[in-house]
Amino acid sequence: MPQEKNPKGEVHEDRTYYSYDTNRKVIACRQFNSEGFINQFVLDSLSSDQKTLIFITENSENAPTGLRVRLIYEIKNENEFVETFELGFVGKQFSCWMTNH
């Protein structure tokens, strides 16, 4: 999508795989991005209604040192969810980088 600072726009693609790590008893998530980043997440929190899942990176390959990533899924209904991708650069709070609906 064209943007003010990027008039040509760009296409972002990623593949995300979820698994249950029986040794650590955690839900894990691995995300492979078209920009060359590979993020490994673990489920950090789950809302009491189980409709908001928050994953935090354990490791990011090919990313700046110290970068933290937070991936949030908000389930709206059986056919709809919102995904928020947030970055936390060294010394900074998380900020929204991308939202998909």
- Report the distance separating Cα 91 and Cα 84, nearest Å: 21
CA distances from 3 to 8, 10, 41 (A): 7, 9, 29
pLDDT at 100 over 70: yes
- Report the distance separating Cα 99 and Cα 64, nearest Å: 21
pTM of the full predicted structure?
0.85
Q: What's the one-letter identity of residue 14? A: D
Q: Where exactly are the structural domains of the chain?
A: 14-100
State how far Cα 63 lies from the chain centre.
14
For 51, the token pair is: 């409709």
| 9-30 pLDDT per residue, tens | 777 788 999 999 999 999 999 9
pLDDT score recorded for residue 9: 75
| 45-64 pLDDT per residue, tens | 999 999 999 999 999 999 98
